Structure 1
């Protein structure tokens, strides 16, 4: 009788997805509001990355709307070059997002170890990220935080874009106006506050390409102000040995240092001449650039092209300290729990009510992808925008969450310059949480140049993110 009494209940795989459907494996990341674990679906045996986000923490940090925004955007996206959402659900304590598992680590980790990657490797990653941006922009989504930390490699070496915490929908009718993203990768039109569209992602891709090639970014500054001025005004400079490291076509892609003066470039302050932008032919013009002359884009889109680097699957791709913390320090370890069947939503706080109603379950095996975006001319999701009024905090002083206080000035989240309100946000990825010097070294954190947002949604994202360092080497620049 005792054995029968203690036998676990049979899992209902035909019912709504929940934590009971997964084996909890290794803890591989830690962030401001939760953690990342490898999980395995008990029925299909498929491996995924589980992001679990503590409800109490995001309510305290006023980040509920950011998380809901991210979850809804991810439900819409289905791209071979994005870390796609597979399941979403919640229990009484946490919000859960189950995503594609990337075992190859992020490009920040590889860049920090090597100081610069081989040109052929960089070209491959830039091409796949261009395809990712093409998929997003086609859906009217601008990422706004493209950087090495947010590019993850799968076990074969293909690149995938992640972290949609500050991504938003845009329309051609009205420009976005908020200052959002990681400052070192922000386009001039974002910092100039004159309004912008998806063109900002192509600038960020140019910064990423430069950093991957040379191990440092083209625009730098010791303060936010000096960095802003550098991005707005400084002429791009290349290392003295740039022509020995990178082909003329590769340099031309960035700023046109070759004889092909008629070509538009990624690091063009004039968006009418920026490579990839709609004014200059969009993604098709990008594909036609001479740097990619030997590329079969159809083969690349089908993921039939062989990546120039394959991560070493025999070596650990995450920091083992996360697992030790889980074993030794966690006073409330993650485990599947039954939900309270008697929850009265009307009696919940505004934040918890919003989570119950808006963080809806998702199962990619049963539900088609859909968009929650309702174009209203504002360029922002109406559901998120309408919820902000009850959660914003007025005042001119910046709100700097505790987990960012050790960061340098360049990395710190910035206050809403309009003094109309700031709201702390977060993004959980699959990387470690560390500070950065701003030169592309000494960090394996998704937030090496901290993400933030000011404006449309009256929010400020802290982007405390986590990681899975990997030990594979995608070719060091000679």
Structure 2
């Protein structure tokens, strides 16, 4: 009788997705409001990354609108070099993002381990991320926080862009003015508050490429003011031994990406002309773009699958220090006494299942269905179906203040976006 009593309840895979659908495996990361761990879908056996955000912490940091914005925006994204959303749901304590699993670690981890990366390896990553950026910009989305921490490798060594926490839709008719992102990677037009659009992502890609090749950033400062001045005014210089690490064509590409005038910056010509200019740059002469974008080009570096390509202390902390470990729980029936913020999450952080849901556009505040998702049952990957985001009204401008840790926090009075206060080590 006891065995029958303790038998787990069967999982309803036909109902809305929830934590009962997954087996919880190891913890692989930690962020501002929660953690990231590997999970396995009980029905399909597919592995994913589960990012979960504590609701109470989210409310305290005034980041509710940010989380909802990320959830909605990810529903519009589907690309081979982006960490795509597969499922979204919530329980009484957390909001959950189930994402493509990247077992190869982030480029910050590999950069700190190796000091710098070979030029050909960096060129490969830059080309793959550029393909992802071009897709985002085509759909009027700018990332705004491109840095090595937010570039993840899969187990084969392909690069993927992640962390859409401060990504936002843009309109070319009205520039944004909010100071948002990680300061060392911000374009000068952000810091000088001249107004900006998608061209800032290409500047950030240039900073990343420079740092990965030479092991240091092109513009530095001991204080925020010093760093701002360096980004806005200092001449771009290369290390004395630069020719040993980077070809002449490579340095030309870095200069072109780190051009302070956005209209002259590499890849920033109107419409699709900019990306075509990028692809035709001499540095990428060896890249077969059709093969690369089909993910058939062999990566120059394959992460060691026998080693943890992330900080193993996250797993130890989960085992020894977590007083409220994550587990699947039935939801409370009574939801009448929720605060306004909790109610907002309850109503707007809606369930998402990439195998069941129609994709929607939330640009800027509509819900037009733009394409239907189909799935590969064997891999859990999306069959290419790229939604076109309609160009409608202007995105509201946003304002922000820069924190001392080099990140920006939104002023919620003028934007649906809220705070992002995360150190270089605290990334998803």
TM-score of the superposed pair, with normalisation by structure 2: 0.89
The corresponding residue for 1:341 is 333
Q: Distance in 2 between matches of 1:200 and 1:319?
A: 30
TM-score of the superposed pair, with normalisation by structure 1: 0.80
The corresponding residue for 2:283 is 291
The corresponding residue for 2:355 is 365
The answer on whether the counterparts of 1:116 and 1:214 sit within 8 Å (CA) in structure 2 is: yes
Q: Give the CA deviation at 1:254.
A: 1.4
Q: Give the CA deviation at 1:318.
A: 2.7
The correspondence for 2:308, drawn from 313, 316, 320, is: 316
Q: Distance in 2 between matches of 1:328 and 1:184?
A: 35
The correspondence for 2:419, drawn from 460, 466, 471, is: 460
The corresponding residue for 1:208 is 208
Q: Give the CA deviation at 1:466.
A: 4.2
Q: Distance in 2 between matches of 1:399 and 1:199?
A: 20
The answer on whether the counterparts of 2:58 and 2:64 sit within 8 Å (CA) in structure 1 is: yes
The answer on whether the counterparts of 1:36 and 1:49 sit within 8 Å (CA) in structure 2 is: yes
Compared with structure 1, are the counterparts of its residues 273 and 413 closer, same or farther at alpha carbon in structure 2 (3 Å cutoff)?
closer
Name the Cα RMSD after superposition. 2.2
The correspondence for 2:259, drawn from 268, 271, 279, is: 268
The answer on whether the counterparts of 1:50 and 1:97 sit within 8 Å (CA) in structure 2 is: yes
Alignment of 1:58-73 (within 5 A): 58-73=58-73
Q: Distance in 2 between matches of 1:304 and 1:283?
A: 20
The answer on whether the counterparts of 2:69 and 2:417 sit within 8 Å (CA) in structure 1 is: no
Q: Distance in 1 between matches of 2:269 and 2:279?
A: 13
Compared with structure 1, are the counterparts of its residues 414 and 359 closer, same or farther at alpha carbon in structure 2 (3 Å cutoff)?
closer
Q: Distance in 2 between matches of 1:367 and 1:83?
A: 18
Q: Give the CA deviation at 1:14.
A: 0.9
Gaps of 5+ in 2: 366-391
Gaps of 5+ in 1: 256-264, 386-391, 401-408, 424-454, 469-478
Q: Distance in 1 between matches of 2:320 and 2:201?
A: 41
The corresponding residue for 1:252 is 252
Structure 1 counterpart SS, 2:111: helix
The corresponding residue for 1:352 is 342
Q: Give the CA deviation at 1:216.
A: 0.5
Alignment of 1:99-110 (within 5 A): 99-110=99-110
Q: Distance in 1 between matches of 2:146 and 2:197?
A: 15
The corresponding residue for 2:96 is 96
The answer on whether the counterparts of 1:103 and 1:154 sit within 8 Å (CA) in structure 2 is: yes
Deviation digits for residues 443-474 of structure 1 (CA, Å, limit 9, x no counterpart): xxxxxxxxxxxx64473310356469xxxxxx
Structure 1 counterpart SS, 2:257: coil
The answer on whether the counterparts of 1:177 and 1:195 sit within 8 Å (CA) in structure 2 is: yes
Compared with structure 1, are the counterparts of its residues 340 and 250 closer, same or farther at alpha carbon in structure 2 (3 Å cutoff)?
same
Deviation digits for residues 239-290 of structure 1 (CA, Å, limit 9, x no counterpart): 11112221111011011xxxxxxxxx11111112110112492111100001
The corresponding residue for 1:379 is 395
Alignment of 1:48-87 (within 5 A): 48-87=48-87
Compared with structure 1, are the counterparts of its residues 228 and 399 closer, same or farther at alpha carbon in structure 2 (3 Å cutoff)?
closer
The answer on whether the counterparts of 1:25 and 1:38 sit within 8 Å (CA) in structure 2 is: yes
Alignment of 1:17-32 (within 5 A): 17-32=17-32
